[in-house]
Structure 1
Amino acid sequence: MSFWFTVIRQVGRNLRQTWMSQIMTLLTVSLSVLIFTLFYLIYMNMLNVSDQLSDDLRLIVYLEEEPVPEMKEQLRNKILAFDDVESIKFVSSEDAFTQFSEQLGNDRDVLEDMPRDFLPASIEVTPLKTLRSLNQIQLFSGYLAKLPGTMKVQYGKDWIERFFHFTRLLSIVVLLSGSLLILTTVFMVAYTIRLTIMGRQDELELLKLVGATNNYIRTPFLLEGFLQGALGSTVGLASLYLLFQWITIRFTGQGFLNLIDFAFFPPATVIAIIGISILLCAVGSHTSMRRYLRI
């Protein structure tokens, strides 16, 4: 008990002596965590959006004419020859007219003078979850476009490609911000511990001469790095949560954002981020001790 009491007292003394650098380190760690978690949160929600959109992803094959039952079976077999799919639905011209009329709602009167077969027949193909990467969708679309009697294939190509490219770019930003978090955290904590060690070098050597153990001398510095990691990551995550809540409340209402269920990090992810921050700060503290603490 007396050991930890003395260690905590030494930590408090170190914090008072280098309070300016301690605050700068805390702010740097907090800002680094905030930047990384912000982009990671956006990336995580974009993946959720991708999953939500992929549930409705369908490739629509427009046909030149209504297929007879034998032709339907041939087309079905050719589609399954590429890969298994979740569903294949043949939509006749009349079914397409009915669906279009329902979509128009109160404006369906504009279709009164139109023939019920003016819309082309089509095939709605829903791919499996495992066949929904951008490259696979493009290959599948090209394959469907070569089916007999096909006019064109539609699946929201431009929008989906932009979304996939944006998600890929966001993943690179997450990696870069994660690297920034590692570098700044380790460097700033190591620099702060170095200042503390240099300011107390004579005192530390004297403690060693009077019989103080290495653990007694090193533990306060490790605990200091632990506190920087815990407090910095907590402040960064708290700031992100407040920003998340502000955006959620500010933009709640009618519009695109209201159609998507955005979510904050689950508790396990929050604990993991705090744990990684503590580990990085401890590594920075240990690195500085090994280099500048001559014991």
Structure 2
Amino acid sequence: MSFWLTVLRQVGRNLRQTWMSQLMTLLTVSLSVLMFTLFYLIYANMLNVGDQLGDDLRLIVYLEEEPGPEMQEQLKKKILSFDEVENIRFISREEAFDSFASQLGNDRDVLEDMPNDFLPPSIEVTPLRTLRSLTQMKLFSGYLSRLPGTLKVQYGQDWMERFYSFTRLLSIVVLLSGSLLILTTIFMVAYTIRLTILGRQDELELLKLVGATNNYIRTPFLLEGFLQGFLGSTLGLASLYLLFHWITERFSGPGFLNLIEFTFFPPLTVLTIIGVSILLCTVGSHSSMRKYLRI
């Protein structure tokens, strides 16, 4: 017990002597964690958005003529020969008209002079989730466009291309910010520990001469790295949490953000980020000790 009390006193002394560099390191670690977690949170929520919107994804195959029962069975077999799908639904001209009219709502009176069979019949195909990558959707759409009597296939291609391009860009930004977090954290903590070691080099050598063990001398520096990682990551995540709630409350209400459920990191992810930050800071502290601590 006395060992740890002495070690903690040494840590407090080191923090007081180099408080300016310690504060700068803490702010650097916090900002690095905040920047990385911000982009990672956006990326994770965009993947959730893709899953939520993907639940309503359909391929609409517009036909020249309304198929009879036998033709419907043949078309089903041809569609299923490409791959399994969740659902295949044939929509008649009248059903298409009723659906279009319900979408117009109060403006449906514009259709009063229109015949109820002016819209083309169609097939609504709900693909399995294994088919929902952009490449597979393009292949599936191309296959459906070659079915007998097909006029056109629609599935929101432009939207999907923009969405997947945005998520790919976000994944690159997450990797870059993660690399920046690793480099800045290790470098700043190593630099701060180096200043502490150089400022106390004579004292540390004297402690070694009077019988202090290596663990007694090194443990305070490792604890400094541990504290920098813990406090820096906690401060960065707390700032992100406040920013997340401010944005969700500020922009809540009617609109796109209200249609999608955005979530914060689960507890396991938060603990993992804190643990990785502690590990990186401890590694920075250890590397500086190996290079500058002559014991």
Report TM bin, short chain.
over 0.9
Q: Give the SS at the match of 1:110.
A: helix
* CA distance, structure 2, for counterparts of residue 247 and residue 56 of structure 1: 26
Name the counterpart of 2:199.
199
The number of residues matched between the two structures is 295
Could you tell me the percent identity over the aligned residues? 82
Does residue 82 in structure 1 map to residue 79 in structure 2? Answer: no
* CA distance, structure 2, for counterparts of residue 164 and residue 65 of structure 1: 35
Name the counterpart of 1:60.
60
Name the counterpart of 1:22.
22
Cα offset, 1:249, TM superposition? 1.1
Mark the runs of 5 or more structure 1 residues left unpaired by the alignment.
Answer: none
Name the counterpart of 1:256.
256
Name the counterpart of 1:143.
143
* CA distance, structure 2, for counterparts of residue 237 and residue 272 of structure 1: 12
* CA distance, structure 2, for counterparts of residue 52 and residue 72 of structure 1: 30
**CA RMSD, Structure 1 to Structure 2 (Å):** 0.7
* TM-score between the two structures when normalised by the length of structure 1: 0.99
- The 5 Å alignment of 1:51-200 reads 51-200=51-200
Q: Which amino acid aligns with 1:6?
A: T
* CA distance, structure 1, for counterparts of residue 124 and residue 161 of structure 2: 20
Q: Give the SS at the match of 1:151.
A: strand
Q: Which amino acid aligns with 2:290?
A: R
* CA distance, structure 1, for counterparts of residue 213 and residue 63 of structure 2: 83
* CA distance, structure 2, for counterparts of residue 139 and residue 168 of structure 1: 20
* CA distance, structure 2, for counterparts of residue 197 and residue 133 of structure 1: 54
- The 5 Å alignment of 1:252-291 reads 252-291=252-291
Cα offset, 1:136, TM superposition? 0.8
* CA distance, structure 2, for counterparts of residue 32 and residue 41 of structure 1: 14
Q: Which amino acid aligns with 1:94?
A: E
* CA distance, structure 1, for counterparts of residue 283 and residue 134 of structure 2: 40
* CA distance, structure 2, for counterparts of residue 57 and residue 226 of structure 1: 47
Mark the runs of 5 or more structure 2 residues left unpaired by the alignment.
Answer: none
Cα offset, 1:247, TM superposition? 0.6
* CA distance, structure 2, for counterparts of residue 239 and residue 111 of structure 1: 54
Q: Give the SS at the match of 1:89.
A: strand
Cα offset, 1:264, TM superposition? 0.8
Name the counterpart of 1:220.
220
Q: Deviations over 1:128-158 (max 9, x none)?
A: 1111111111111111111111111101110
Does residue 33 in structure 1 map to residue 33 in structure 2? Answer: yes
Structure 1 runs of 4+ aligned residues shifted over 3 Å read none
Q: Give the SS at the match of 2:176.
A: helix
Cα offset, 1:253, TM superposition? 1.1
Q: Which amino acid aligns with 1:26?
A: L
* TM-score between the two structures when normalised by the length of structure 2: 0.99
Q: Give the SS at the match of 2:243.
A: helix
Q: Deviations over 1:213-271 (max 9, x none)?
A: 11000000000000000000011001111111111111111111111111111111111
